A and B are shown apart, each in its own frame.
Chain A
Amino acid sequence: DTGVSQNPRHKITKRGQNVTFRCDPISEHNRLYWYRQTLGQGPEFLTYFQNEAQLEKSRLLSDRFSAERPKGSFSTLEIQRTEQGDSAMYLCASSFSYNSPLHFGNGTRLTVT
């Protein structure tokens, strides 16, 4: 059990550019969650996968955000045409089953200049 791995740890980009983050969950965890966290706030739910199926996506999530989980393994989160308001920590978590706790990675910190 090597834990949830997120890459990169930090990303600085210019407004209008596209960025992609990767999350590798704990092996055999079939559920994968993406959250966004800004300073002083709790994690905000973005989207959730069970295996390769995306079960729910936050209503707050702009169409500029898209997530995939091909073959039910790693996941990617892409943000198109980034805006300064997208600057945040993006957290990934995985869990073994429906009633298991989430295990988090250490996040990708995005700064949009």
Chain B
Amino acid sequence: EDQVTQSPEALRLQEGESSSLNCSYTVSGLRGLFWYRQDPGKGPEFLFTLYSAGEEKEKERLKATLTKKESFLHITAPKPEDSATYLCAVQDETSYDKVIFGPGTSLSVIP
């Protein structure tokens, strides 16, 4: 059965303190891996799609990487406005392209 886990559950960083979030996954056939950002009371906002091991994507202070079993979201010199919950999801091509989400990492960036 498809499974996505994320660590840590919560992370507090000082402004400017770089760190990484982890997403580990088990899926029958990986179509793609997605990263989303979610602010309180809102729906998830799309950040990146990664399709194959070794692939990297960047956007401002965020960089996502993918291996065969996990993905990392690196945050460089974060700012308070980066505070949010970051969700990882996998799309299973063997199950009608169903998308399964992990529990998320809650990031707080302190000024």
Contacts and interface: CB of A to CB of B under 8 A. Distances in A.
Interface of A: 4, 31, 33, 35, 40-45, 48, 50, 55-56, 91, 93, 98-99, 101-107
B25 interface: no
A48 B96 contact: yes
Report the contact-size class of chain B (Cβ under 8 Å from the partner): 20 to 34
B49 interface: yes
6 contacts: A31-B97, A42-B101, A98-B31, A99-B97, A101-B46, A102-B89
B96 A101 contact: no
Contacts of A91: 43-44
B93 to A, nearest CB: 8
Contacts of B91: 99
Contacts of B34: 101-102
Nearest to B39: A106
Contacts of B41: 106
B11 interface: no
B49 A101 contact: yes
Contact of A42 (B95, B96, B104): B104
Contact of A99 (B32, B87, B89): B32
Given A104-B45, A107-B43, 9 more contacts: A33-B99, A42-B6, A45-B100, A93-B43, A99-B31, A101-B34, A102-B34, A102-B44, A104-B36
A56 B98 contact: yes
A98 B43 CA distance: 21
A56 B87 contact: no
Nearest to A56: B96
B89 to A, nearest CB: 8
A43 B31 contact: no
A106 B42 contact: yes
A75 to B, nearest CB: 15
A41 B98 contact: no
Contacts of B106: 40
B51 to A, nearest CB: 8
Nearest to B102: A42
